[in-house]
Structure 1
Amino acid sequence: MDLYPVMQNIVNNYGYLGIFLVSFTEAFIQPIPPDIFIMGAPMFGLSPIYSAIVASIGTLFGGLFGYFLGDRLGHPTFSRLFGKKIFNKRRAFF
């Protein structure tokens, strides 16, 4: 599934809230960066300056949420899902 059209549709339909959602989720789960939507903001009828501010706030909160998930669910959940052997191998790698 190609995520770019989905993210483009979100920004097109929801404007600044869409950029916030793309930025928030990009910080911990999906790989589409909000930069392309900031540069293309005038095509969506949005201000690039406000888009950059909204994206920065979204990335900040997304990063904090990702940190919270890793802190609360990190090691126990990873070792439960993938096993102790893979967990220890990844730990040694990092």
Structure 2
Amino acid sequence: MEWIKEMAAWVAHFAQTPYGGWALFALAFAESSFFPIPPDVLLMALCAVKPEYSLWFATICTVASVLGGMFGYFIGIKGGRPLMFRWFSADKIKLVEGYYQRYDVWAVGAAGLTPLPYKLFTITAGVFDLSFPRFVVASIISRGARFYALGLIFWYFGPAIQAWVKEYFGWIAVSFFVLLVGGFWVVKHLGSKAAKSGESL
């Protein structure tokens, strides 16, 4: 757990610099296509330092995350199936493809709102040639709902929540990473289950 807290502290330290907004943009963009660290950690740190700017930070995070998702979509288009099978197991790919067949782009929306690995869905959305306009709309709705919810909490409660977050920030960051790892475990578990079901048919 200690290394998670150290990594979270490294990410959060950007909130104390003049480059916090830029760091948030870069982190949110990268997390949507290839980077493992969720931007929520830095978003919360920035909102705790300047709660009056919370909605602005949520806007930065949402815009960057959607643009990063679009980049992941084009990685899927350009890289194609060989790249997808190199990065992800066949079980995960089969599971995500089944989600697309059932829910279309709203599978991307679910991943953007929950701890499920969003980058897996953005890249495979391009591979499976989902409608790009609908993909963007689903990303905006899901990522916006997630980040603005955090922003609104800090904007509304302001100093009242500021002290609480500073005191428990390390454990909050650990919780985000646990949820992230849990999201990958869910995809892996469900993918393996889907593969076994396919074999039994």
TM-score range, shorter chain: 0.5 to 0.7
What is the rounded CA distance, in whole Å, between the counterparts of 2:38 and 2:84 in structure 1? Answer: 25
Q: CA deviation at 1:33?
A: 1.9
The match for 1:63 is: 69
Instruction: Note the alpha carbon deviations across 1:37-63, whole angstroms, 9 max, x for none.
Output: 323324444721110000000001000
The match for 2:150 is: none
Q: Which runs of 5+ in 2 are unaligned?
A: 98-201
Aligned partner of residue 32 in structure 1, secondary structure: coil
Q: Which moved more, 1:25-34 or 1:3-12?
A: 3-12
Q: Which moved more, 1:18-27 or 1:42-51?
A: 42-51
The match for 2:135 is: none
Q: Which moved more, 1:40-49 or 1:54-63?
A: 40-49
Q: Structure 1 residues 72, 55: closer, same or farther in 2, change over 3 A?
A: same
- Name the count of aligned residue pairs: 89
Instruction: Describe how 1:30-69 pairs up with structure 2 within 5 A.
Output: 30-45=35-50, 47-69=53-75
What is the rounded CA distance, in whole Å, between the counterparts of 1:74 and 1:9 in structure 2? Answer: 37
Q: Structure 1 residues 11, 67: closer, same or farther in 2, change over 3 A?
A: farther
Q: CA deviation at 1:7?
A: 2.6
Q: In the alignment, residue 41 of structure 1 is paired with which amino acid?
A: L
Q: CA deviation at 1:28?
A: 1.3
Residue from 16, 20, 24 that aligns with 2:21: 16
Does the 8 Å contact 1:12/1:18 carry over to 2? no
Q: Equivalent pairs: percent with the same residue?
A: 24
Aligned partner of residue 30 in structure 1, secondary structure: coil
What is the rounded CA distance, in whole Å, between the counterparts of 2:79 and 2:55 in structure 1? Answer: 36
Which protein shows a greater Rg? 2
Instruction: Note the alpha carbon deviations across 1:51-81, whole angstroms, 9 max, x for none.
Output: 00000000010000000111101313345x5
Superposed CA RMSD in Å reads 2.9
Does the 8 Å contact 2:31/2:65 carry over to 1? yes
Relative contact order, higher structure (CA 8 A, sep 6+): 2
Does the 8 Å contact 1:22/1:34 carry over to 2? yes
- TM-score, normalised relative to structure 1: 0.68
